[in-house]
Amino acid sequence: MASIPRELVDLLGADAVVAPDGDLSAWEAGVRGDRGDAAFVLRPADTDAVAAAVGCCVRHGIPFVPQSGNTGLVGGSTPDASADQAVLSVERLNRVCEIDVDNRSVRVGAGMRLSELNARLEREGLCFPVDLGADPMVGGMVATNTGGARFLRYGDVRANTLGLTVVLPDAEGTVLRLDQALRKDNTGPDWKQLFIGTSGAFGIVTECVLNVEPLPRERATAILVPRDEAAIFDLLRRLETRLGADLSAFEFMSGNAMRHALAHAPSVRNPFSDEAIPPIALLVEIARTAPAGEGEATLAEVLERTLADLWEAADEPLSDALFGPPEELWPLRHALSEGVKHAGRLFAFDLAFARTDVMRFRASMTERLATDWPELEVCDFGHVGDGGIHFNLVCHDRERCQSAGYEQALRDAVVQHAVEDFGGSFSGEHAIGRANQRYYDRYTPDVLKTLADRFSEALGLQATGAARFGHDGTDEQ
Amino acid sequence: MASIPRELVDLLGADAVVAPDGDLSAWEAGVRGDRGDAAFVLRPADTDAVAAAVGCCVRHGIPFVPQSGNTGLVGGSTPDASADQAVLSVERLNRVCEIDVDNRSVRVGAGMRLSELNARLEREGLCFPVDLGADPMVGGMVATNTGGARFLRYGDVRANTLGLTVVLPDAEGTVLRLDQALRKDNTGPDWKQLFIGTSGAFGIVTECVLNVEPLPRERATAILVPRDEAAIFDLLRRLETRLGADLSAFEFMSGNAMRHALAHAPSVRNPFSDEAIPPIALLVEIARTAPAGEGEATLAEVLERTLADLWEAADEPLSDALFGPPEELWPLRHALSEGVKHAGRLFAFDLAFARTDVMRFRASMTERLATDWPELEVCDFGHVGDGGIHFNLVCHDRERCQSAGYEQALRDAVVQHAVEDFGGSFSGEHAIGRANQRYYDRYTPDVLKTLADRFSEALGLQATGAARFGHDGTDEQ
């Protein structure tokens, strides 16, 4: 185990360093069962302290993993089992929160929770529109480039990042201030892009300038049962054309996932006629920033009218349409994740495709699984409006799925089919981390690995984070 | 003058090489008076041919400037006066145009004109939403990261780029295929970002996968006269809150610019009461992808109702509001650029600020000019909804403004005030090119120049394009 350099304690103060004889468990365990062993934990409280900490670690050859809210799903924020890695937590960088109402932007510390940020923005009639089930800190959201349920309307974190302050993992802890609150700026390469979605491997985000949006004031939702899988993107295309940017979510739910959610969460209402769960359903939401004025149609009326047109369309794309207020319909969607977790041993995949390929992949993979892995049940759901799908597999033969090599073989087979046969992404919105390193190593063209190698070398960067970009991966194919 | 390597003609075919004894003028002159002297012109017709051309140029040590539609405003696409540089035109890469309606994306060659792309998309009810006065080719739009009049609603080219194919300027003409048609993909560093807005300096874009949007089917416009400058962003904030994403343009027009436009273009209607031009006005547009249904308010009605509320607001932010259909009101906005060009010798600046700073800068700079450059008239206009302003100065003392050092001193003073005193950008949407190289050299922190140097060195890149990122600039401050 690495000892804590005296210099580090002098630089940061004793309260910013948690020694291994303290309780480090909160920083060592992630939410998907990833659990490591940290050498020690650093909790600097501002950018300068992060720079001092990083420089010192690099000079002493101590590897470290930046950690934000530690809500990530790919082992990107936890140390490995070696007990050699320090954890550098940005949790104390939560004081800066400067809202600029007229610029519709906020300057915020990397350690601010999304919920806290939104609570403060709400007082100004604003919100940060990247909407997630978890409650991460914004530094980690940038490092992961999170998407979420309203990607269709607002895009990902990248699309909403105006500026970043970053500490490079070099011997000086160089601070890059790419932090102007400008919406347009074409005065050179946009270097901040390399620190978005790269799990802290190239630098530690300490402060962000984010675009914020007017708070939606009216929402309307419906659950649609499409005629069949082929009708899904036909429905999406028509809704996008009819509703434009008012369409804020278009979520896919498989019958299996809905069944487990309803079984696990009895308080969630079954919205279907006779409670008969269809094989696939869609949750559609429209939203506006101002409620309907006098004499104007409410959003619920707009949605009903739109769906009535679809209902009467000659090609009959809908086989059912169920209206209900958002607070009645979203709970089913939100219960899917916990529901499938409790249904059996879960193997989760965060895949993305060109929209048209999502259902083609799903059909093909389901067929393959039925042959080779009959113990698995496809319980998927996802943000299909942007091509993303959480392709979840629940195993009902616990013994078999715990056998040696089972999980790796399964993961390899699913990712291979998605990437090689459908041009898909093996990580739509969860980034790389340790969990996806194998597939970065396997599917990244050599020319891009070389680019990453040389970029890191040229910058004198010490490898950091739980993701490694370049040729130093550990894939043993 | 460089001779044309035999190898190059063999590789590309004689029809792809225009020798200096031919007429090269179309490739040598830009639209803002930048005029160079090309060694020769290369017109490869696909990515492989671009790669062959680039590799051959690099191996023979022939510098070259990539050129697309040659409509840029910063001398980014024309050769210098040395007659040493070849022009590598992508104009023949205009055959690929694969529209994916369900994915709302298009794969398009770098040489396709925006107008042609939109004509093809329109047949599918779609459009590429980055809306410009000029008619560039898409490769140049990516290299410039263009913004335009509907940035507020749709963002810039970066926000609408899903994938790129890029040829690196190395001895092999390495092709990077970063071209998957995915909306979400977090499987490593997003390298394509470095080729957006960098004027071809790091690589030549040959093919793009772009997001496309449903074609707006209904628009409504009004010209607003705000109470004063302070009311502008108050109006914007209220309109954004009320109208959300329906607000598609919020354009600022100065009285001086409007006066010159109306004088130069007599066919353009003066919309103001008694034809009295106010000191400042705003053009506001809202748009929807579907026309109002039966019983729904038309957009014109929505806009009138919204403005009526503002009209009655206690703080009286509006002093006038003029309604008219888009085809009557946009011509004034579109006539501004030509109008100021004809009013006298023009010095144009493409500045951007945090939105709140636009009018503060304008007031302060106008005051400075009145003292030190009284021969200049501020004839500005711009996309203030996103913080951009085309800060145009018209000189009425032709002799003085042609005196030695005048232009440079003026440009330095304006840029200095914008960047140093207001944290602004000296290039909001026109990129670097030769025209802004001086300010890149002056205002880019050393750490970012080093980043660019090392990135280029590490890749073995030969300097290309008319923009140079790193420490090799030519600023002589």
pLDDT tens digit sequence for B280-316: 999 999 999 988 777 778 899 999 999 999 999 889 9
The Cα A350–Cα B390 span in angstroms is 44
Query: How many other β-carbons are positioned within 10 Å of the β-carbon of residue A293?
Result: 12
> Does the distance separating the beta carbons of B193 and A193 come in below 8 Å?
yes
Task: Say which DSSP state B83 is in.
Answer: S
- Show Cβ contacts of residue B450 under 8 Å, excluding neighbours closer than 6 positions: B470, B471
Cβ-based contacts of A174 with chain B (< 8 Å): 447
DSSP class per residue in B100-130: ETTTTEEEEETT-BHHHHHHHHHTTTEE---
How many angstroms separate the CA of residue B143 from the nearest CA in chain A? Answer: 10
Cβ-based contacts of B193 with chain A (< 8 Å): 190, 193-194
How many angstroms separate the CA of residue A267 from the nearest CA in chain B? Answer: 33
Residue ranges of domains in chain A: 6-89, 97-214, 218-333, 344-422
Query: What are the backbone angles phi and psi of residue A338, rounded to the nearest 5°?
Result: -65, -35
- Among partner residues B144, B214, B388, which is closest to A244 by beta-carbon distance? B214
Confirm if B200 and B431 have CB atoms less than 8 A apart.
Answer: no
Confirm if A37 and A28 have CB atoms less than 8 A apart.
Answer: yes
Cβ-based contacts of B107 with chain A (< 8 Å): none
> Does the distance separating the beta carbons of A177 and B356 come in below 8 Å?
no
The pLDDT-based confidence of B473 (bands split at 50, 70, 90) is low
Position A384 scores a pLDDT of: 92
> Does the distance separating the beta carbons of B186 and A431 come in below 8 Å?
yes
Confirm if B444 and A448 have CB atoms less than 8 A apart.
Answer: no
Position B251 scores a pLDDT of: 97
- Among partner residues A186, A189, A356, which is closest to B103 by beta-carbon distance? A356
Position B61 scores a pLDDT of: 92
How many angstroms separate the CA of residue B81 from the nearest CA in chain A? Answer: 24
Q: Which CATH number fits domain B6-89: 3.40.220.10, 3.30.43.10, 3.80.10.10, 3.90.1150.10?
A: 3.30.43.10
Pick from B255, B155, B259: nearest CA to B211 = B155
Position B1 scores a pLDDT of: 46
The pLDDT-based confidence of B476 (bands split at 50, 70, 90) is very low
- Show Cβ contacts of residue A321 under 8 Å, excluding neighbours closer than 6 positions: A222, A223, A224, A225, A307, A310, A311
Task: Say which DSSP state B460 is in.
Answer: T
Position B310 scores a pLDDT of: 92
Per-residue pLDDT tens for B211-251? Answer: 999 999 999 999 999 999 999 999 999 999 999 889 999 99
Cβ-based contacts of B430 with chain A (< 8 Å): 186
Position B432 scores a pLDDT of: 93
Position A275 scores a pLDDT of: 87
Per-residue pLDDT tens for B417-428? Answer: 999 999 999 999
Residues of chain A with pLDDT under 50: 1, 475-477
Where does A112-268 show beta strands of DSSP type E? 126-127, 161-167, 175-178, 204-211, 213-214, 218-226, 247-254
By three-state DSSP, how is residue B439 classified? helix
> Does the distance separating the beta carbons of A457 and B428 come in below 8 Å?
no
How many angstroms separate the CA of residue B242 from the nearest CA in chain A? Answer: 5
Per-residue pLDDT tens for A330-356? Answer: 999 999 999 999 999 999 999 999 998
Residue B475 has pLDDT above 60, yes or no: no
The pLDDT-based confidence of B389 (bands split at 50, 70, 90) is very high
Query: What are the backbone angles phi and psi of residue A275, rounded to the nearest 5°?
Result: 60, 20
How many angstroms separate the CA of residue B3 from the nearest CA in chain A? Answer: 32
Query: How many other β-carbons are positioned within 10 Å of the β-carbon of residue B363?
Result: 11
ipTM greater than 0.85: yes
The Cα A173–Cα A164 span in angstroms is 16
- Total residue count of chain A as it appears in this document: 477
Residue B474 has pLDDT above 60, yes or no: no
- Show Cβ contacts of residue A367 under 8 Å, excluding neighbours closer than 6 positions: none
Position A473 scores a pLDDT of: 52
Confirm if B168 and A424 have CB atoms less than 8 A apart.
Answer: no
Task: Say which DSSP state A373 is in.
Answer: -
Report the chain A residue with the minimal C-alpha distance to residue B106: A354
Query: What are the backbone angles phi and psi of residue B252, rounded to the nearest 5°?
Result: -95, 140
Burial group, residue B377, by CB count within 10 angstroms (0-12, 13-18, 19+):
buried
Cβ-based contacts of A191 with chain B (< 8 Å): 448, 451
Cβ-based contacts of A73 with chain B (< 8 Å): none
Cβ-based contacts of B439 with chain A (< 8 Å): 187
By three-state DSSP, how is residue A203 classified? coil
Taking the CA atoms of B4, B5, B7 and B11 in sequence, report the sign of the dihedral they define. negative
Confirm if B213 and B126 have CB atoms less than 8 A apart.
Answer: yes
Instruction: State both tokens at B322.
Output: 């003029």
How many angstroms separate the CA of residue A412 from the nearest CA in chain B? Answer: 15
Q: What is the CATH number of domain B344-422?
A: 3.30.70.2740
> Does the distance separating the beta carbons of B188 and A193 come in below 8 Å?
no
Report the chain B residue with the minimal C-alpha distance to residue A301: B296
How many angstroms separate the CA of residue B439 from the nearest CA in chain A? Answer: 8
The Cα B142–Cα B110 span in angstroms is 9
Using a pLDDT cut of 90, give the percent of chain B over it: 84
b/e sequence B274-294, b meaning 16+ C-beta within 10 Å: eeebbebbbbbbbbbbbebee
By three-state DSSP, how is residue B265 classified? coil
Q: How many CB pairs below 8 Å do chains A and B form together?
A: 260
The pLDDT-based confidence of B34 (bands split at 50, 70, 90) is confident
pTM confidence score: 0.96
Q: How far is CA A436 from the centre of its chain?
A: 14
Instruction: State both tokens at B211.
Output: 């997001």
Q: Residue B307: how many CA atoms within 13 Å on its side-chain side?
A: 25
Strand pairing report for B345-352 and B318-324: unpaired
- Show Cβ contacts of residue A308 under 8 Å, excluding neighbours closer than 6 positions: none
Instruction: State both tokens at B81.
Output: 């006066």
Pick from B72, B71, B62: nearest CA to B41 = B62
The residue-averaged pLDDT of B432-446 equals 94
By three-state DSSP, how is residue B310 classified? helix
Q: How far is CA B63 from the centre of its chain?
A: 25
Task: Provide the mean pLDDT of chain B.
Answer: 93
Please determine whether the domains at B218-333 and B344-422 fall in the same fold group of CATH.
yes
Reply yes or no on domain A97-214 having CATH 3.30.465.10. yes
- Among partner residues B158, B188, B242, which is closest to A290 by beta-carbon distance? B242
> Does the distance separating the beta carbons of A185 and B425 come in below 8 Å?
yes
Q: Which CATH number fits domain A218-333: 1.10.1740.10, 3.30.70.2190, 3.20.20.140, 3.30.300.30?
A: 3.30.70.2190
Pick from B262, B273, B285: nearest CA to B225 = B273
The residue-averaged pLDDT of B62-72 equals 93
Cβ-based contacts of B300 with chain A (< 8 Å): none
Position A69 scores a pLDDT of: 93
Among the listed ranges A174-183, B269-278, B457-466, which one has the minimum average pLDDT value?
Answer: B457-466
The residue-averaged pLDDT of B395-404 equals 92
Residue B477 has pLDDT above 50, yes or no: no
Residue B408 has pLDDT above 70, yes or no: yes
Cβ-based contacts of B234 with chain A (< 8 Å): 102
Position B2 scores a pLDDT of: 55
Report the chain B residue with the minimal C-alpha distance to residue A247: B245
Instruction: State both tokens at A60.
Output: 């002493």
> Does the distance separating the beta carbons of B190 and A193 come in below 8 Å?
yes
Pick from A120, A121, A128, A144: nearest CA to A68 = A144
Q: How far is CA A405 from the centre of its chain?
A: 27
By three-state DSSP, how is residue B375 classified? coil
Pick from A65, A56, A58: nearest CA to A90 = A65
Residue B14, phi-psi category: left (phi > 0), alpha (psi -120 to 50), beta (remainder): alpha
